[in-house]
Structure 1
Amino acid sequence: MQPDQEPAADDTPVDVVVFAPTPTLTVTIEEVEGSPDIHLHAGGQGVWQARMANLLGSSVEYCALLSGETGQVIGHLLEDEGIRVRSVAGHAASSAYVHDRRGGGREEIAAAPGDRLSRHELDELHGLVLREGLIAKTAVLSGAPRDDAVPVDMYRRLASDLRSGGCRVIADLSGERLEAAISGGLALVKVADGELIASGRAESDDPDELVQGMRSMVADGAEVVVLTRGSRPALLLEGDSISEVRVPELQVVDEHGAGDSMTGAIASALAAGDTIQSAVVLGASAGANNVTRHGLGSGHADSIRRLAALIDVVPFEEGTQTGPVQQASPEDLARKAKTQ
């Protein structure tokens, strides 16, 4: 497939549409038995979300602008994973990075954030996402490696237009893009506590402050808010109800992509007709499972569903402080899973 051409591919409706304007070609260098082991993948926030939703059984369509050599490679890699690609014609370069992990961490060798999209590219991409999202009925709005890849207001317009057409819109964004999407109207927003504080909606990570910040998002246009808090239980605001989502703490291999795995799993579950609480539990399980792996947005569907059975959702009592969930060993989890 040539990414700048509208594919004459399968037009069967999908379960979830993911909008992330410029995905990333990732080159990762690892070491196996003293020799470099080089991995090539499609990456970036929207890709990890799409990958997780696809892993959990949803049919997924990825809408973006893919151009140049990197764009061609990204398109083929996504399709090889079973993710349908819809790209508009354009000339803006896709992003890419090279990371060296042979030392145990992530050393960035080189990174290209990609280009800003032109007016014509933006118009075509908006139309593409609107059309595909209205068909799928569930859409995820994600960011880009560079903040100015698309205008902030595009997120407001997409959220508003998709919602007006009966599409369930989920956002996993930050900064001005998040605020714009909320003002357009969202079925669900997933946000980290640090982002809530940075936005000025909360003054600190005090739980009561965070809850008030979540409620302000609802007042401004979000129906449901899911707030992640690192090692502390996530918070779920649905209607007037605030809940804690308590996940057994697993051994961390790589924390990158955990939030995106959570978002992808939530979208997959909601598209399948699950309740908000069930979807968030599955999302929390997918995020926790992801940190035990090197592959971002990856895992095993059966493992994720088994871990989900071990997650507790309890009412949140304002005025209380909650610490990390006690860490569970693999043996503890195995014993608990057998009783489910």
Structure 2
Amino acid sequence: MGSVVVFAPSPGLTVTVEDVDGRPDIHLHAGGQGVWQARMLTGLGASVTMCAVFSGETGSVIRHLIEDEGVEVIPVEGQGSSGAYIHDRRAGERELVAENPGEKLTRHDLDELYGQTLKAGMEAGTVILSGAVREDAVPSDVYRRLAADLGTAGCRVITDLTGDRLTAALAGGVSVAKIADDELTDSGRAASDEPEAIIEAMHALHEEGAGTVIVTRAHLPSLMLHEDELSEIRVPEMQSVDTHGAGDSLTAGVAATLADGGTMHQAVVLGTAAGALNVTRHGLGTGEEGAIRNLTKLVTVSAYQAEEPAADQQASPEELARKVWKQ
């Protein structure tokens, strides 16, 4: 596998309490979008470097946990403390006990983090821009500048962002933009979760600066717009334990494949298999590489076919009027 840099501005510490034979079982892990992506990348055999800010006692623990997973860390020592949360899962669902989103990054932190990411990205050739737990931790324009500068340096830039961060990264230009359908609707980029609205939003993302657009749709087939061709990606639905981290696993699989010289078709197949396996596990961004590669045999990519309306389904007068107006 090739080399991938993960821009993870502010990873956090996760403390999860589970029940084992009536006794509390406490787990400590590094968490956050970039961490889950790096974890899956490492599991798939990629060489992973993470550029992040670590602050205070919490940050020190997070850094060591990430390094213990085989990820090379390029740290920036920040002020205050890094974020953390405690989840209680003894009843089966995640119950938030306490949460600290961490500190807003200072200008000096951002300058150092920016330079380290640019340097590492130019050496690796593939960079994932991931979000921060705290919305205002990093100014959105940092994503625009990073995407633009990395692209100018010949890097492949992959994003899994929403809101202003996504808009900014697109303005800088990205190779691949992955997003979930509910994120499109929640942000107003798609009028609804109907296929036509999602596809329209995908074309808009492409026009804004994404070379390839991948949209996940929970239990429905994912959609991909690549080189003006629209495809749907199917995989058998697995028995879900926890859906958190599935999208990040997909992004990691895509990045790992492209970094290793694979095609976009191969990338989305591996990514889909990684995301599908991740939902069967409690650990976020985890999955045994052999099982993931076996699961790729069940992933299919085909040209998108719009669903035909039922024969007895009649259009409303409003729908007929819209059709006539468009003609």
State the TM bucket, normalised to the shorter chain: over 0.9
In 1, Cα distance between equivalents of 2:306 and 2:145 = 35
Q: Deviations over 1:55-78 (max 9, x none)?
A: 000010111101211111111111
Report the CA distance between 1:90 and its aligned residue.
2.2
In 2, Cα distance between equivalents of 1:36 and 1:320 = 52
In 2, Cα distance between equivalents of 1:34 and 1:200 = 45
Report the CA distance between 1:88 and its aligned residue.
1.4
Maintained 8 Å contact 1:92/1:116: no
Report the CA distance between 1:196 and its aligned residue.
1.5
Corresponding residue number in structure 1 for 2:6? 18
In 2, Cα distance between equivalents of 1:253 and 1:201 = 30
Q: CA RMSD in A?
A: 1.1
In 2, Cα distance between equivalents of 1:84 and 1:238 = 32
In 1, Cα distance between equivalents of 2:201 and 2:250 = 21
Correspondences of 1:126-205 after superposition (within 5 Å): 126-205=114-193
Corresponding residue number in structure 2 for 1:4? none
Q: Deviations over 1:210-264 (max 9, x none)?
A: 1111011111110000000111000010011000000100100011111011111
Corresponding residue number in structure 2 for 1:68? 56
- 1:94 is aligned to 2:61: no
Report the CA distance between 1:320 and its aligned residue.
4.6
Maintained 8 Å contact 1:207/1:320: no
- 1:259 is aligned to 2:247: yes
- 1:36 is aligned to 2:52: no
Indicate the SS of the match to 2:133.
coil
Structure 2 residues not aligned, in runs of 5+: 310-327
In 1, Cα distance between equivalents of 2:199 and 2:86 = 39
- 1:121 is aligned to 2:125: no
Corresponding residue number in structure 2 for 1:275? 263
Amino-acid identity (%): 56
Indicate the SS of the match to 1:297.
coil
Q: Deviations over 1:259-289 (max 9, x none)?
A: 0111111111110111001101111111110
User: Rg: which structure is higher?
Assistant: 2
Structure 1 residues not aligned, in runs of 5+: 1-13, 322-340
Q: TM-score scaled to structure 2, two decimals?
A: 0.92
In 1, Cα distance between equivalents of 2:44 and 2:202 = 28
Q: Which range moved further: 312-321 or 204-213?
A: 312-321
One-letter code aligned to 1:115: E
One-letter code aligned to 1:273: G
Corresponding residue number in structure 2 for 1:3? none
In 1, Cα distance between equivalents of 2:188 and 2:306 = 20
Report the CA distance between 1:92 and its aligned residue.
4.0
Report the CA distance between 1:192 and its aligned residue.
0.6
In 1, Cα distance between equivalents of 2:96 and 2:253 = 28
Maintained 8 Å contact 2:56/2:78: no
- 1:239 is aligned to 2:227: yes
Structure 2 CA distance for partners of 1:320 and 1:234, relative to 1, 3 Å: farther
Q: Which runs of 4+ in 1 moved over 6 A?
A: none
